[in-house]
Amino acid sequence: MSKILIVDDEANIRRVVREYAEFEGYEVAEAENGMEAVELVKNHDYDLIVMDIMMPKLDGFSTCKEIKKYKSIPVIMLSARGEEYDKLFGFELGIDDYVVKPFSPKELMARIKAVIKRNTRPASEIPEKLKFDGLEIDLAGREVYVDGEKASMTPKEYDLLFYLVKNKNLALTRDKLLEEVWGYDFFGDDRTVDTHIKMLRNSLGPYRTFIVTLRGMGYKFEYGQN
């Protein structure tokens, strides 16, 4: 049974998420602020954290930074603010998903299921290593090297690169990337993909050109074609 930690200063939000999560068979713990969440993470293991951004004592972004000092746990961020800056900042911190309030509990459950499934993929399904000129991808170790230097990438950047590489030279629509990389059917703004492609290109440095934009459609990882 997967264990979820719900972090939100609104008791009603925690209650609703708990009810839906327990109905789906998850074990649920709660924290009403970031400081309480950090202490829980120190002493317990969780498969996923659902966390609000605007909280007293310690906001969601600061809590996420603090938690990652101790453990690597997937995070879905909740926020009443839907600005691109907030989403981008969250993804740069390494969160796995971002849900804007008010949200559909059923949609949130679909995202929870997708994130947990993606992070519990059997190691046997992951190939070893790939090399494209000076770009090296250690698929089993989930590490990327640019000209011998380890690239600093968020989990979602890595997942996106892995999927693009696995489908090298194939055209992939934004909807397909959302479905396969984020793990759920298309729920909203496909700018999510564009934002992560921009972040990924920055991480790849001189090899950013391997990711080709297909105008009006999506993207592909292009290598070895004349």
Question: Tens digits of per-residue pLDDT, 6-31?
Answer: 999 999 999 999 999 999 999 999 99
Q: Can you tell me the distance from the alpha carbon of 142 to that of 153, in angstroms, rounded to the nearest whole number?
A: 10
pLDDT reported for residue 4: 96
Measure CA 189 to chain center.
15
Q: Which residue has the higher pLDDT, 149 or 181?
A: 149
CATH number, residue 101: 3.40.50.2300
pLDDT reported for residue 120: 66
pLDDT reported for residue 124: 46
Residues 6+ apart with CB under 8 A from 192: 87, 178, 182
Q: Can you tell me the distance from the alpha carbon of 182 to that of 29, in angstroms, rounded to the nearest whole number?
A: 24
What confidence category does residue 172 fall into, taking pLDDT thresholds of 50, 70 and 90? very high
Report the half-sphere exposure of 220 (CA within 13 A, side-chain side): 14
Indicate if the pLDDT at residue 121 is higher than 60: no
Closest residue by Cα to residue 224 from 167, 168, 173:
168
What confidence category does residue 186 fall into, taking pLDDT thresholds of 50, 70 and 90? very low
Report pLDDT digits (tens) over 97-118: 888 888 899 989 988 988 888 7
Measure CA 140 to chain center.
18
pLDDT reported for residue 187: 53
Query: Do 82 and 172 reside in the same domain of the chain?
Result: no
Residue span of the structural domain in which 82 resides: 3-119
Query: Do 186 and 199 reside in the same domain of the chain?
Result: yes
Query: Do 134 and 91 reside in the same domain of the chain?
Result: no
Distances (CA, A) of 50 to 21, 140, 168, 186: 11, 27, 33, 20
Contact of 197 with 160, CB cutoff 8 Å: yes
Least confident of 21-30, 140-149, 198-207: 140-149
* Region of 207 on the Ramachandran plot (φ > 0 left; ψ -120 to 50 alpha; else beta): alpha
Q: Strands of 69-181 (E only): list them.
A: 75-79, 97-100, 129-132, 135-138, 143-146, 149-150, 172-173
Per the prediction, the chain carries an average pLDDT of 86
Report pLDDT digits (tens) over 71-85: 888 999 988 876 777
What confidence category does residue 123 fall into, taking pLDDT thresholds of 50, 70 and 90? very low
Q: Can you tell me the distance from the alpha carbon of 76 to that of 160, in angstroms, rounded to the nearest whole number?
A: 17
pLDDT reported for residue 210: 96
User: In terms of pTM, does the model score above 0.75?
Assistant: no
Query: Do 14 and 88 reside in the same domain of the chain?
Result: yes
Query: Do 115 and 26 reside in the same domain of the chain?
Result: yes
Query: Do 145 and 50 reside in the same domain of the chain?
Result: no
What confidence category does residue 93 fall into, taking pLDDT thresholds of 50, 70 and 90? confident
Last residue of a domain, one of 119, 153, 168: 119
The CB density around residue 167, as the number of other CB atoms within 10 Å, is 15
Indicate if the pLDDT at residue 169 is higher than 80: yes
Instruction: Identify the three-state secondary structure at position 216.
Output: coil
Indicate if the pLDDT at residue 126 is higher than 60: no
Measure CA 68 to chain center.
14
Say if 185 falls within a structural domain: yes
Report pLDDT digits (tens) over 31-72: 999 999 999 999 999 999 999 999 988 999 999 999 988 888
Last residue of a domain, one of 76, 97, 119: 119
Say if 205 falls within a structural domain: yes
Lookup: tokens for 28: 């649920």
Say if 226 falls within a structural domain: no
Backbone angles phi, psi at 166, to 5 degrees: -60, -30
Angle between helices 191-204 and 84-93 (to 10 degrees): 50
Range 77-94 average pLDDT: 80
Query: Do 65 and 39 reside in the same domain of the chain?
Result: yes
pLDDT reported for residue 41: 94
